[in-house]
Amino acid sequence: LIFILSSGSDPNKELDILADDLNMSDRLKRIALGQGQGKKASSLIEKGMAHGDWVMLQNCHLSISWMPTLEQVCDNMEPDKIHPEFRLWLTSMPSESFPTAVLQNGVKITKEPPKGLRANLKSTYSKLDNDKLRRTNKPKEFMRLLFGLSFYHALVIERKKFGPLGWNIPYEFNDTDMDIT
């Protein structure tokens, strides 16, 4: 499964929720690819295929030199020898160096931030449930703070489409940042 990333998108939260729902949280292994992480990634894939773990290789576009190895690993996978619960999750920005064979054989998923303030606010509020909203003994104040933060989040996400106009430093304020605050 290949997550094609766009600016401001982060599939980690959704994958965590899916892993929780399917009781795979303890079997979800992640590695952020970069310099020297290729051997560790290969090892995780081998162990995952044997034990049925989920393996997430993040930022494949940053490990250009390891991409031929990834293609070879994927080509050498034998369905008869792979645990039925094994999943290989890849995240990458669009890149010329991403192996075409892996891309053609994989399921591609994209996640883009909602377009417009209203859509972004709806998206933020749709992810909340009553339990999350009632965790405080001051619900009225909490709701006001939540709206202010949600509106700020939506504004920053929407503002990115204008590029450097009015913003000196681009910052990818995404759903994970919203959850942390």
In this prediction, residue 49 carries a pLDDT of: 92
Give the SS3 label for residue 156. Answer: helix
Residue pLDDT, tens place only, 163-180: 666 566 666 666 676 676
Nearest partner of 31 among 40, 21, 23, judged by Cα: 40
pTM higher than 0.85, yes or no?
no
Per DSSP, the residues of 50-105 read: HHT-EEEEE-GGG-GGGHHHHHHHHHT--GGGS-TT-EEEEEE-S-TTS-HHHHHH
Distance CA 172, CA 174 (A): 6
pLDDT of residue 90: 92
Q: How far apart are CA 45 and CA 60, in angstroms?
A: 14
pLDDT of residue 12: 82
> What does the pLDDT look like over 128-155, one tens digit per residue?
877 777 778 888 888 898 899 889 888 8
Return the structure tokens found at 64: 């250009």
CA 169 and chain centroid, separation: 23
Judge contact between 53 and 47, C-beta under 8 A: yes
What pLDDT sits at residue 27?
A: 92
